[in-house]
Amino acid sequence: MSWQPEIDELRRRAEMGRQMGGPESIAFHKGRGKLTVRERLDLLADPGTFTETGVLAGRPEWDGAELRSLTPANSVTGIVKIDGRKVVVHGGDFTIRGGSADGSVADKSGWAVGQAYSNRLPFVRLLDATGGSVRTFETMGRTYLPANDRVLDVELLQRVPCVSAVMGSVAGLPAVQAAMCHFNVMVKATSQLFVAGPPVVKAALDIDITKEELGNEDIQVRQSGVVANLAEDEADALAQIRRFLSYLPQNVWQMPPRTEPNDPPDRREEELLAIVPRDIRRAYNPYRILEMVLDRDSFFEIQPLFGRAKVTGLARVNGYPVGVMINNPRYLGGSMDKAAGEKTARLLQLCDTFHLPLVHFCDEPGFMVGLDEEKKGIVRAGARVVSLLSLSQTPYMTFIVRQVYGVAGGLHYRGGTAMYRRFAWPSGHWGSMHIEGGVSAAYRREIEAADDPAARRAEIEARLNALRSPFRTAHSFAVEDIIDPRDTRPLLVDFVEDAQEILASQLGPTSRIAFLP
């Protein structure tokens, strides 16, 4: 006698588990322009690779000994393959109790974190869930004490790539989980993120507000920077996750994956010779520089709508993954404000954690000044970046494209014994502060005492500007080499190739920089 009847029953119950919240709930969900959690997993995964765990978890209703119906757990979890590599996934199912975090059956999320941790696999959360619900009190017959046992989540950040996608209205614990990652993304017009939703805000503050006003992409991507990237739709969000993971290793014990290069390592672009204007008041397109020196079409920008004075992201150089940052003179003159400082800090931590060399195309006029930035805490943000760079051990390379001034400009350099290289373009100029602003401070009395203060200021500025040539600095060996900008890519390729041996010796968890949300 075989076990075929039990296998048939297993299949029947598994099919019940895959019905999610039922036809009406699914139709309502899709009517809001959203995919179901299972459709999202199909888009995220290599075709046919999703292996589900816990499909039978749910609340059964019995007719005697027979199972009459099954309300599935309001999340789906398992393992998929992305570009042939295994990834642990956990997705909230909004069609069942709004994906309420405390309305689940068993802790599928905790299981997924444990699997990612023990198997050293990347972890992806597809968040479409609220936090706790008072309905749970009636189900339990009591209230409960909230607890933040997130030790494993934090340790996971030091071991494997972690990604969160905000796929709907996300509040409470899932909102915190949205930030506990190395990269996150939300969907334009259909995603919101907040600590607590409009009803709670109304009860606490007597303020009427919509969920869009409270936590849409304008709030969380452009203003707070809590979410890194904005996707046009859910398919775009999932594609961005796939691309982000393609630059990173499976875990910190492995090297980042190299792809077959499709771009000559010795490519020299004539346009680089004139891309930086001689007039220091004129801006240029920093993205064009990246196009000409990185592998073609390899740059993946992180936080493009936040801290726009600094462009940060991942790319490839001769097939090898690298971290990239470049000042953007089209925003705040490229000055580092608090937002740009936060971006810089996160990129430093990401590269150090996953053993990616970091290249900096520097045109840094200094920290952004003024009352607004002081109120935001620019000094502390600057101190944090200085500290992280000092502790970082990942190979670091700087091309001085134009300006290097003040403490923020000093971030182009890293002392100590960690691998570091620096080259300057002929357009480079530097100092403790800009001559134009520094003259007014250092020569104030002399200028004020002159018969023609404006003429005296201009005279002093001209005298000092004569000393600004980068060649004078090179003669003193205070900058190692001034290069033809067209040689930037070949020098970068050489650096990245040399860095591979250093990176291989650093595999494992980073002891000096912990990646925290």
Share of the chain above pLDDT 70, in %: 91
Tell me what the mean pLDDT of segment 62-88 comes to.
Answer: 92
**473 vs 188 pLDDT, higher one:** 188
The answer to whether position 64 is within a domain reads: yes
pLDDT at residue 20, as a whole number:
85
Q: Place 145 in a pLDDT band, splitting at 50, 70 and 90.
A: low
Q: Could you give the CA distance from residue 154 to residue 179 in angstroms, rounded to a whole number?
A: 11
Q: Are residues 160 and 194 in the same domain?
A: yes
pLDDT at residue 25, as a whole number:
81
Tell me what the mean pLDDT of segment 232-261 comes to.
Answer: 98
Does residue 432 register a pLDDT over 80?
A: no
The answer to whether position 349 is within a domain reads: yes
Q: Are residues 341 and 303 in the same domain?
A: yes
Beta-bridge mates of residue 362? 400
pLDDT at residue 444, as a whole number:
80
Residue-wise burial string across 66-93, b where 16 or more C-beta atoms lie within 10 A, e elsewhere: eeeebbbbbbbbbbbebeebbbbbbbbb
The answer to whether position 145 is within a domain reads: yes
Last residue of a domain, one of 230, 246, 262: 246
Does residue 138 register a pLDDT over 80?
A: no
Write the single-letter amino acid at 46. D
Does residue 463 register a pLDDT over 90?
A: no
**Which of 209, 173, 162, 164 shows the shortest CA–CA distance to 191?**
164
Last residue of a domain, one of 197, 231, 246: 246
Q: Write out pLDDT tens, residues 9-47.
A: 999 999 988 988 788 888 887 878 899 999 999 999 999
pLDDT at residue 17, as a whole number:
87
Q: Place 107 in a pLDDT band, splitting at 50, 70 and 90.
A: confident
CA within 13 Å, CB half, 24: 0
pTM: 0.92
| 8 A C-beta contact, residue 266 and residue 295 | no
The answer to whether position 252 is within a domain reads: no
Which structural domain range is residue 363 located in? Answer: 270-425+483-504
pLDDT at residue 193, as a whole number:
96
Q: Are residues 218 and 275 in the same domain?
A: no
Give me the chain's average pLDDT, please: 91
